[in-house]
Each structure stands twice: as structure tokens, then as C-alpha cells.
Structure 1
């Protein structure tokens, strides 16, 4: 067998291995995304509790009755906004943590 033929066989073998790894990564990512969709993260502070899922869906917002009764609309809006953003930040961090475990730390733009 010539050296060129051996080199081509090695390259094909390497390509096949890369394809298998990519397919496995794709399966692992699909599984992780399904799990993240069911993972709930909660932020609680200043009388507001926000529950979001790992896929960035806001599931529930609880507001203490004292805040509702305060009649300070602007303050209530601010507190809710802070709580939602904090909960979504937690969800984004959890997603990045899960996905980086699958991708081996590769930074793939637009992945998550």
C-alpha cells in the first residue's frame, strides 16, 4: 500500500470519527435542551418571586400582597423588571453551563 493511499485512509477514518462525534454531540444537546425546558429556576427578592425555565420561558410571577397594596405603580414595575431579568440571567447561565459541558468548552457562536 502506498503512503498516499494510507494517508487518504487515515484522513477518511478521521473524518468518519469527527462525523460520529458531531452526531453524538447533536444528540446530547437535544437531550440537554429538553431537560433545560423542564428545569425551573427561581429568583426571589424585594417581594417578587419569578420562576423561569432553562429555555427562558417565564412560568410564574408571585407578588407579595404588600407590594400590590402599596399603590406605587412605578416601584412595583421596577421590582418586577429586576426580578424577571435576574431569573432570566440565572436561566442563561444554567444553559451555558449545561451546553459547555457537552461542547467541551467550545465557544460556538449562536449556540445558546
Structure 2
């Protein structure tokens, strides 16, 4: 029985660690979206004449947009993998708990 309790504790620890990693991915996705928006605005402002039209400004805007898109895709893929691992650990934990044949506590 102690071994089962340790397995459940280990699974819960893994779930917590994976949840922290998922939160980091979500934060990274926000940063990526900000980079995309900033890059698009910079390119748009450069092409419309609101910002001095310099090749460097245009390249920076395009680079920020492309980097943001790549970073967003990478973070989204990592988040999906982590979410799948969390579901697997939660399913395994539920199976162990169900197999323990626990009895409900009686009211007095």
C-alpha cells in the first residue's frame, strides 16, 4: 500500500512540474504574440511613412514578425506535448486510486 501512495505522490509531483512548464509555454506564447504585433506595426508604419523609411527598420520589423511566428509555433507545440503528458499522468493516478479499493468514511 505504501508503494501505491509513493507512486501517487510521484505522479502528483510530475503533474505539478508539468503544469509549471505549461504555464511557462503560455507566457512564451504571449511574448511571441507581442513580437508579431510589434513587427507588423513596425512594417506597417514603415511602409505607410509614419516611421522614416529605412531598410534597417523594415528588416527589423520583418525579423520580429517571423521570429514571433516561429516562437509561437514552437511554444504551442511544446504546450500540446506537455498537456498530453499531464493527461497521461492524471489518468495513471486515477487508475492507481481506483485500484486501491478505498472505503468511504462512515458518518457517526
> Per the shorter chain, which TM-score range?
0.3 to 0.5
Determine which structure has the larger helix proportion and give its number: 2
- Tell me the TM-score normalized by structure 1: 0.43
- Tell me the TM-score normalized by structure 2: 0.44
Determine which structure has the larger strand proportion and give its number: 1
Structure with the larger RCO, 1 or 2 (CA within 8 Å, 6+ apart): 2
